[in-house]
């Protein structure tokens, strides 16, 4: 597998796990749950960055055809 595709898959998993941690944990007075919720924010935002890096890496490493110039005039 190409590294760009792997990074996109990892980034999407990070983003969804960050959403899960942020939205499905109730806000209470417990500091541990509050820290886990804050980690969800960090993991979600990091997942967006990893996904963007994977997309850019995929586009940079994409094989393009060489330019064929026709000099027959």
Do 11 and 47 touch, CB atoms closer than 8 A?
Answer: yes
Which two three-digit tokens encode residue 57? 């890496």
5 pLDDT exceeds 80?
yes
Report yes or no on whether pTM surpasses 0.85. no
Q: Domain extents for the chain?
A: 3-60
Query: Taking Cα atoms as reference points, which of 19, 13, 12 lies closest to residue 40?
Result: 19
Average pLDDT over residues 5-19: 94
């Amino acid at each position: 597998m190409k590294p760009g595709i792997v990074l996109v898959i990892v980034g999407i998993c990070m983003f969804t796990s960050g959403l899960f941690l942020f939205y499905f944990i109730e806000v209470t007075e417990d500091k541990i749950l509050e820290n886990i919720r804050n980690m969800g924010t960090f993991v979600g935002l990091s997942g967006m960055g990893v996904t963007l890096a994977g997309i850019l890496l995929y586009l940079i490493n994409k094989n393009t055809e060489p330019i064929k110039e026709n000099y027959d005039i």
